[in-house]
Amino acid sequence: MIEPTRLSVSGERIRAAYEFTGPVDEARGRAEALAVEQTIEFPADLVPDDDIRGQIIGRIESLETTGERAVRVEVTYAVETTGFEFPQFLNVLFGNSSLLPDVRLVDLDIPPALAERFGGPRFGIAGLREMFDAPQRPLLSTALKPMGMAPERFARMAYDLAAGGIDMIKDDHSLANQPFAQFEERVRACSAAVRRANEETGSNSIYMPSINAPHRLLDERVEIALDAGAGGLLILPGLTGFDHMRDLAADDGVGIPIMGHPAFLGGFVSSPTGGIAHDVLFGTLMRLAGADVSIFPNFGGRFSFSREACSEISAASVRPIEGVRPMWPAAGGGMTMDRTGEMVTFYGNDIVLLIGGDLHRGESLRSSAAAFRAAIT
Amino acid sequence: MIEPTRLSVSGERIRAAYEFTGPVDEARGRAEALAVEQTIEFPADLVPDDDIRGQIIGRIESLETTGERAVRVEVTYAVETTGFEFPQFLNVLFGNSSLLPDVRLVDLDIPPALAERFGGPRFGIAGLREMFDAPQRPLLSTALKPMGMAPERFARMAYDLAAGGIDMIKDDHSLANQPFAQFEERVRACSAAVRRANEETGSNSIYMPSINAPHRLLDERVEIALDAGAGGLLILPGLTGFDHMRDLAADDGVGIPIMGHPAFLGGFVSSPTGGIAHDVLFGTLMRLAGADVSIFPNFGGRFSFSREACSEISAASVRPIEGVRPMWPAAGGGMTMDRTGEMVTFYGNDIVLLIGGDLHRGESLRSSAAAFRAAIT
């Protein structure tokens, strides 16, 4: 037994819900093990009746049998266990337990003190509506691709897309710093092309380069993007870390919209009984980490997300969280122009429609973009 | 159709193997889609017969039916698609395809040019054997816990563990910068305690603080650790990014051993038909990203990794990769002292035995540590 500990904690708690799949009568024991695993990771029988036991170990608030082999368990954690830092917040939610079989993080609520610390989107729904002078309509986005083209070709493409009225023209997430189109040259060319299109055609578009860079070069790439006049940033938190995105969103010296991309996060949603629920990952966590726009694969595309999962992501993007702005869901992944009507019916107007290769099928990229834009105005 | 592109590439290629689960006759089509998804993410029918088609799109090298509903497909990628940067390397391997159902990354080989660029472990097996003057025996490690204790108590614990002969005394992965034991105070106290134990008792231990910090504070935390005289670092690449770990391993100004922890990486191994094979993730990728020691949950503990998965992680840690040192596998997760014999039989001597709470069950922490050490010398 270790010596007793007295602690001062605020009483504010994070509320997480997990679904345990397996024999229902084993759920309580598994939940108790999880509540220890996510906090002290120490034999509970060696902890005396002190504040580590009372305040630090996760507290099981409720168990509810939700299926023949499914139990939903609500666990709360003292907000101090996170040190008010985002990486440790994720660690408390699901660090080691991500390695446990058949347990899934399915819901999450954070207290206002933590929400305020994290901040969330700088622009959110209202901010981007104002930026694009689009009080009601869905926003439009597309990606510069394919990898292998030279910077001037990406720039020509960016010009045409902006002239056609696409709001957010982002790098494809595959564009990093390849020899075919190195970051600085590509970003300067594309930023200039979109600026020129805005001046010449009255469009109001932004270019969002992908900041998928080695750790030591992240700041430099952002500085290049800002210096080039990029209008936003594409961030891949599965590769560069959620807190890098949060840091950019909170930085007044950056101050431009951020689009979060799901690359390398799919492992969390590849098992129906493990990982993290789609809406928690691509809705709540992306939003708390500062994404103004969160990309996910639309149902009916090539990624097999269900209609229900997409609907839940969309709901989590905008549900009230005190101190955190609502975020734009962005449904993409093999989307075609003829599905835009269906998508707006499904998601409503607070949706970013992300169309990829299909725009290249028309007579010209600019005319396809203009047709896409006309279809939703 | 886009305009044809001519490119200059080296011909060096990354070789990845994926297992597709589902109807065998659909595997080729799914593999072709993956090879496009991981590279150009653009309708293949719009790409002419040029170097984007010939060099950039992933190339299917072989398909082999390995089960009634399983096909193993080898795909190679031009090394230039990564831009020789680790985050984009991961993106090429499994960025978007992590979101596809029933496909698993199961094997990986990289060409020498890329291995040399990434570097891998600074110390590896031989380096740590020299550091701990342990030419043959397994190495021993344990964690400072539970969260909630004050720095001086962690320091007392660290002293006892070092005096008892534990080689690597790490922060528990749950210790970040909580108000109960803030990073700087804890790290200075524990570093000093281990130094004092080494001086007073002739032990040869190192303390490895956890650098689980917000993006903007990562460098500062490392600097504090170095200034305090910490002997190594614990890194959680699932939270702070694989490339942060690689950067630290490559940095001559850091120059101390790195232990990689699996927190928040479990999503990748929670589905048997999705995600990333255990040995690729906790063996090959941890190693390429510079971990001298890679922690994973031992079989028979509380995490349900199979014997086979553990054996494969161990094999991947040391298999020959030109230009990359072998890495120490570290099996932990609810391990007890009475299992050390079995573990050494299973893994051989090139293993870090990671014992947690069980050390606290003896008469004193120092005597338990000494008994643990005596059991393996």
DSSP, collapsed to helix, strand or coil, labels residue A208 as strand
End-to-end CA, chain A: 68
Mean pLDDT (chain B, rounded): 96
The percent of residues in chain B predicted with pLDDT above 90, rounded, is 92
Report chain B residues whose CB lies below 8 A from the CB of A43.
357-358, 360-361
pLDDT of B218 above 80: yes
Do strands A13-21 and A103-109 pair parallel, antiparallel, or not at all (unpaired)?
Answer: antiparallel
B6 touches chain A (CB under 8 A): no
> Domain check: are B83 and B34 in the same one?
yes
Contact, A35 vs A59, CB < 8 A? yes
Short-list B264, B260, B308, B306, CA closest to B284: B260
Contacts of A94 (CB under 8 A, 6+ apart): A38, A105, A276, B264, B266
Classify residue A228 by its DSSP letter. Answer: H
B213 touches chain A (CB under 8 A): yes
In a domain, A2, yes or no: no
In a domain, A8, yes or no: no
Last residue of a domain, one of A97, A118, A139: A118
In a domain, B1, yes or no: no
> Domain check: are A224 and A310 in the same one?
yes
pLDDT of B117 above 80: yes
Nearest to B275 among A177, A267, A305 (CB): A267
DSSP, collapsed to helix, strand or coil, labels residue A312 as helix
Residue corresponding to tokens 């109001």: A204
Per the structure, how many domains does chain B have?
A: 2
Residue A81 CB-half CA count within 13 A:
36
Report chain A residues whose CB lies below 8 A from the CB of B333.
99
pLDDT at B126: 98
Residue corresponding to tokens 């990829």: A356
Contacts of A261 (CB under 8 A, 6+ apart): A173, A210, A234, A235, A236, A237, A295
pLDDT at B303: 80
In a domain, B5, yes or no: no
Most A-contacting residue of B57, B96, B336 (CB-CB within 10 A), to test interface: B96
Classify residue B137 by its DSSP letter. Answer: S
Helix axes B340-347, B365-376, angle to 10 degrees: 40
H or E element: which one contains A368?
helix A365-376
CA atoms of A95 and A40, how far apart (whole Å): 12
Short-list A1, A70, A77, CA closest to A38: A77
> Domain check: are A135 and A93 in the same one?
no
In a domain, A6, yes or no: no
DSSP, collapsed to helix, strand or coil, labels residue B89 as helix
Last residue of a domain, one of B57, B83, B118: B118
> Domain check: are A150 and A84 in the same one?
no
Question: How many Cβ pairs within 8 Å bridge chains A and B?
Answer: 327
Last residue of a domain, one of B89, B118, B147: B118
Contact B360 A33 (CB under 8 A): no
Do strands B103-109 and B13-21 pair parallel, antiparallel, or not at all (unpaired)?
Answer: antiparallel
pLDDT at B302: 76
In a domain, A3, yes or no: no
Nearest to B99 among A46, A94, A266 (CB): A266
CA atoms of B356 and B347, how far apart (whole Å): 19
**Which chain A residues in 231-270 lie under 8 Å from chain B, judged by CB atoms?**
236, 238-244, 246-247, 262-270
Mean pLDDT of B105-113: 96
Q: Which residue of B has its CA nearest to A267?
A: B268
Q: How far is CA A164 from the centre of its chain?
A: 27
**Token code pair at residue B166:** 């534990």
- pLDDT confidence band for B62 (50 / 70 / 90): very high
What CATH number has the domain bearing residue B292? 3.20.20.110
> Domain check: are A183 and A103 in the same one?
no
Q: Give me the amino acid identity at A228.
A: A
> Domain check: are A271 and A161 in the same one?
yes
pLDDT at A270: 86
> Domain check: are B280 and B189 in the same one?
yes
Contact, B75 vs B63, CB < 8 A? no
End-to-end CA, chain B: 68
Report chain B residues whose CB lies below 8 A from the CB of A52.
146-149
Contact, A58 vs A78, CB < 8 A? no
Instruction: Look up the domain containing B38 and give its range.
Output: 13-118
Nearest-CA distance from B355 to chain A in Å? 11
B362 touches chain A (CB under 8 A): no
DSSP, collapsed to helix, strand or coil, labels residue A116 as helix
Contact, B210 vs B176, CB < 8 A? yes
Contact, B80 vs A180, CB < 8 A? yes
Contact A271 B271 (CB under 8 A): yes
pLDDT at A336: 86
- pLDDT confidence band for B1 (50 / 70 / 90): confident
**Token code pair at residue B249:** 């391993």
Short-list B174, B15, B25, B305, CA closest to A77: B174
In a domain, B133, yes or no: yes
Most B-contacting residue of A14, A236, A264 (CB-CB within 10 A), to test interface: A264
> Domain check: are B111 and B128 in the same one?
no
CA atoms of B151 and B213, how far apart (whole Å): 18
CA atoms of B317 and B325, how far apart (whole Å): 9
Give the 3-state DSSP-derived string for chain A, with helices as H, strands as E and coil as C: CCCCCCCCCCCCEEEEEEEEECCHHHHHHHHHHHHHHCCCCCCHHHCCCCHHHHHHCCEEEEEEEEECCEEEEEEEEEHHHHCCCHHHHHHHHHCCHHHCCCEEEEEEECCHHHHHHHCCCCCHHHHHHHHCCCCCCCEEEEEECCCCCCHHHHHHHHHHHHHCCCCEEEECCCCCCCCCCCHHHHHHHHHHHHHHHHHHHCCCCEEECECCCCHHHHHHHHHHHHHHCCCCEEECHHHHCHHHHHHHHHCCCCCCCEEECCCCCHHHHCCCCCEECHHHHHHHHHHHCCCCEEEEECCCCCCCCCHHHHHHHHHHHHCCECCECCCEEEEECCCCHHHHHHHHHHHCCCCEEECCHHHHHCCCHHHHHHHHHHHHC
In a domain, B160, yes or no: yes
pLDDT at A142: 97
pLDDT at B7: 95
> Domain check: are B58 and B104 in the same one?
yes
What CATH number has the domain bearing residue B77? 3.30.70.150
> Domain check: are A207 and A265 in the same one?
yes
> Domain check: are B98 and B131 in the same one?
no
> Domain check: are B108 and B135 in the same one?
no
Say if residue B96 is exposed, middle or buried (CB neighbours under 10 Å; 0-12, 13-18, 19+): buried
pLDDT below 50 — which residues of chain A?
none
pLDDT at A298: 94
pLDDT of B280 above 80: yes
